[in-house]
């Protein structure tokens, strides 16, 4: 049984836990790990915006910041990076990964109306680069759901952007050598009881994440 740590607050991560559980994983939501040896992989979930201090900026457009949680998530991320274990970042989680590796965040996208949650997820086209895992799973062009107003300004060390929205906002990143993947969209809201007809099956990505576990 594959054990997944979800770096978040209990009650806010039900969709992630439910989707992964239906794929056979055992998930625990927590904000601290004394040792990553208790788990096989880490999931960094969506949420509010990241404290801009963590990427060397003042607040100019960030929303719903939780500085304590941000630092807890970065600490958990560090433990799993050091152990070389698989990591998946979703929405805010992808941005946390980018910050950890020294990347930059755009605090309020000029095209935020294409991406931000407005009573519901937005859905927009995307393009995956040739030969990437997303292109192999979903093809070169496919729609994704969207619920964010921030985005990656520049990728961190050894991170590569592998998917873009029509306005060139990065939709996914992957690490050069480590089993680390981040997506700006929400696969857990694209599968099982949250399956939707206007996007592909998000469980394909979650299944790929679990396949990274030896």
**Any idea what the CATH number is for the domain that residue 138 is in?**
3.40.50.880
Name which of 164, 163, 169, 155 is nearest 134 in CA terms.
Answer: 163
pLDDT at residue number 86? 98
Distance CA 183, CA 138 (A): 13
Could you read off the pLDDT tens digit of each residue along the chain, which spans 214 residues?
A: 999 999 999 999 999 999 999 999 999 999 988 778 999 999 999 999 999 999 999 988 888 889 999 999 999 999 999 999 999 999 999 999 999 999 999 999 998 888 998 889 999 999 999 999 999 999 999 999 999 999 999 999 999 999 999 999 999 999 999 999 999 999 999 999 999 999 999 999 999 999 999 9
How deeply is 13 buried, as exposed, middle or buried, from its count of CB atoms within 10 A (0-12, 13-18, 19+)? buried
3-class DSSP string for 12-53 = CCHHHHHHHHHCCCEEEEECCCCCHHHCCEEEECCCCCCCHH
Distance CA 27, CA 14 (A): 10
Choose, from 27, 115, 186, 191, the residue flagged as catalytic. 186
Choose, from 91, 127, 148, 175, the residue flagged as catalytic. 91
Catalytic residue flag (residue 186): yes
Q: Which domain holds residue 135?
A: 3-212
How many structural domains comprise the chain? Answer: 1
68 contact partners, CB below 8 Å, separation of at least 6: none
pLDDT at residue number 20? 98
Sign of the four-CA dihedral 147, 174, 130, 138: negative
CB atoms within 10 A of CB 48: 14
Choose, from 115, 148, 149, 188, the residue flagged as catalytic. 188
SS3 189: helix
């Amino acid at each position: 049984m594959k054990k997944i740590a979800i770096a978040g607050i209990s009650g806010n991560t039900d969709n992630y836990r439910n989707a992964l559980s239906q794929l056979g994983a055992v998930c625990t939501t927590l904000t601290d790990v004394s040792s990553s040896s208790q788990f096989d992989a880490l999931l960094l979930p969506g949420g509010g915006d990241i404290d801009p201090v963590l990427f060397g900026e003042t607040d100019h457009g960030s929303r719903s910041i939780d500085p304590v949680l941000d630092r807890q998530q970065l600490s958990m991320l560090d433990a799993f990076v050091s152990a070389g274990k698989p990591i998946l970042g979703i929405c805010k989680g992808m941005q946390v990964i980018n910050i950890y590796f020294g990347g930059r965040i755009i605090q309020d996208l000029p095209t935020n109306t294409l991406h931000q949650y407005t009573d519901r997820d937005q859905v927009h086209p995307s393009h995956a680069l040739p030969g990437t895992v997303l292109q192999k799973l979903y093809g070169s062009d496919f729609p994704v759901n969207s619920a964010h107003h921030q985005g990656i300004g520049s990728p961190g060390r050894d991170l590569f952007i592998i998917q873009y929205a029509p306005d060139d906002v990065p939709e996914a990143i992957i690490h050069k050598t480590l089993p680390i993947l981040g997506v700006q969209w929400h696969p857990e809201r694209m599968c099982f009881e949250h399956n939707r007809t206007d996007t592909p099956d998000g469980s394909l990505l979650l299944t790929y994440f679990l396949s990274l576990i030896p």
